Amino acid sequence: MTAPSSEELGEVLELIGREAARYVSELPDARVRLPGADDAALAFGGPLPEDGDGAAKALMELLERGSDGVIASSGPRFFHFVVGGSTPAALGADWLASALDQNPGAWVAAPVASRLEVVAIDWLKDLFGLPAAWGGKLTTGATMANFVGLACARRWWGLRHGIDVDAEGLAGLPRVPVLSSGYIHPSATKALAMLGIGRGSVTRLTRDAAGRLDLDALRAGLQGLAGAPAIVVGNAGEVNAGDFDPIEAMADLAEEHDAWFHVDGAFGLFAAVSPRTEHLVRGVERAHSVIADGHKWLNVPHDCGFAFVRDHELLGGAFALAAAYLPDPDDPRPNLMNLGPESSQRARGPAVWATLRAYGRSGHREVVERHLDLAQRVAARVDAAPDLERLADVTLNIVCFRYRPVGVPEDRLDDLNRRLGEAVLEDGRVYVGTTVYEGRVAFRPAIVNWRTGEDDVDLLVDVIREVGAGLTATP
Ligand SMILES: *Cc1c(COP(=O)(O)O)cnc(C)c1O
């Protein structure tokens, strides 16, 4: 029988410190995926051990058996989804958060961790040009940040109907009208489902196959509601090509029609950080709720997202909880359990605080602007390649293109690009996913990792062409 003992700690922390240092120092040159990654993952299992072997043995086993199954998603050549890495400051602070194991749900249990979240939210509002008076909450990611923003929208909407929906629920009320473009992210509709508003409440007002907003249809849709309250969802950075809804025009319409304006800027809100792209999010400061991710372009470890809400009292209305043993609801100190969906929670403030403290506004702007340049570099290389076809303008940090070798007929390109996408992941030197853009299967690398440089994006283009040539050479 082996129970946890204090003696194990020194050995464990030393082992993990050494192994983690090795891992992150090898990341710049590491293959993103090793052959046998799935087998390594599936080899874990078996029955619950009746007796354990202690911490050191368990962790050695994890390292030895697991390492082949680790994807280098925090390294410089992971362009799949939208996944950032961890800056050194953020990684250090996040480790410390685990060692200190604070629970900032209640100030009395974790004053520094609670305060760091409050400061982190204040600094982020400044970074993104959002009004200082707004409230905010760190979350597990953009999905839960969408949930928080839309929970406040739902509360506001109910109050417009004279109902406290957080007390009474939605029964008996009309369906909540939600208007957006075709760019609305499935995490926002998932949040609507979790809130009882329903995925089906969304009307997508599109004017083309990419899903761009039909602004006239939005105006008409709001007018058609004849003054009934509604939620408008703006999308600052959609995932296929990094395009933006017209945020300022949507803010105008939302104001004219007394609608709640929620903006999903999971990665696109970082456009506000550079003078080169800030016009893309102009007007976001007139929204009612705005969200972004920390584990994408801020490069803090998973999991971390941010929700910002103009009327901070709505956060308490939606999320406050009370019990005799919990903090007094009138406690003036921030008890974060009253501002978001989680009660007990991980200390996410330290990592955000540390990366902003370590690199400041200018350091994070430099990362964003390097990625803007790298995206243009990929676009130029795609345009110069006879076997690649770019499908969209590059507004931000995503490049949407497909493999199109001479002689392959149009009706075979989707299948070819899909197979090529799988082969590139299998190859493992770079990682990039495919999507369907305007009805065509396409690659959509997203550049968000602080380590990524020119060699990494050049290799991305080279690998796609090389693996593609191999695929088309063998029938
Ligand atoms: C990634 C993303 C989300 C979801 O973010 P999670 O952090 O995975 O919850 C939502 N909206 C957009 C636009 C995204 O890119």
pLDDT tens digits along 158-179: 999 999 999 999 999 999 999 9
pLDDT greater than 80 at residue 398? yes
Give the model's pLDDT for residue 1. Answer: 64
Q: In angstroms, how far is CA 354 from the centroid of its own chain?
A: 19
393 and 295 co-located in one domain: no
Q: How far is the CA of 278 from the centre of ligand 1 (A)?
A: 20
**Number of structural domains in the chain:** 2
Q: What percent of the chain stands above pLDDT 90?
A: 98
Residue 423 — very low, low, confident or very high, per pLDDT cuts 50/70/90?
very high
Instruction: Give 197-211 pLDDT, tens digit per residue.
Output: 999 999 999 999 999
Mean per-residue pLDDT of the chain: 97
Q: Judge whether 71 lies within some domain.
A: no
User: Within this chain, do residues 315 and 369 fall inside the same structural domain, yes or no?
Assistant: no
Q: How confident is the model at residue 263 (pLDDT cuts 50, 70, 90)?
A: very high
DSSP 92-155: HHHHHHHHHT--TTSGGG-HHHHHHHHHHHHHHHHHHT--TT-EEEEESSHHHHHHHHHHHHHH
Cα–Cα distance, 363 to 344 (Å, whole number): 32
Answer whether 143 contacts ligand 1 (Cβ < 6 A): yes
Same domain, 222 and 321: yes
Stretch 67-73: mean pLDDT: 97
Distance 286 CA to ligand 1 centre (A): 22
Q: Are 389 and 336 found together in one domain?
A: no
Is residue 382 domain-shared with residue 295, that is, in the same domain? Answer: no
What's this model's pTM, rounded to 2 decimal places?
0.98
Say if residue 384 is in the same domain as residue 354: no
d(CA 2, CA 118): 41
Average pLDDT over residues 404-416: 97
Query: How far apart are alpha carbons 392 and 241 in whole angstroms?
Result: 6
Is residue 475's pLDDT more than 90? no
* Ligand 1 neighbourhood includes 267 CB (under 6 angstroms): yes
In degrees, to the nearest 5, what angle opens at C-alpha 308 toward C-alphas 317 and 178?
Answer: 75
In a domain, 47, yes or no: no
- Residue 304 maps to a domain: yes
Say whether both 316 and 390 belong to one domain: no
Is pLDDT at 474 greater than 70 in this prediction?
no
Integer CA distances (angstroms), 125 to 167, 263, 440, in order: 30, 14, 38
Domain with residue 253: its CATH number is 3.40.640.10
343 shares its domain with 390: no
187 lines ligand 1 (CB under 6 A): yes
Domain of 316? 91-358
Are the C-beta atoms of residues 131 and 310 closer than 8 Å to each other?
yes
> Could you tell me if 109 and 125 lie in one domain?
yes
Atom of ligand 1 nearest to the CA of 185: 11
What's the CA angle centered on 69, arms 68 and 75, to 5 degrees?
90
pLDDT attached to residue 40: 97
pLDDT-derived band of residue 296, with 50, 70 and 90 as boundaries?
A: very high
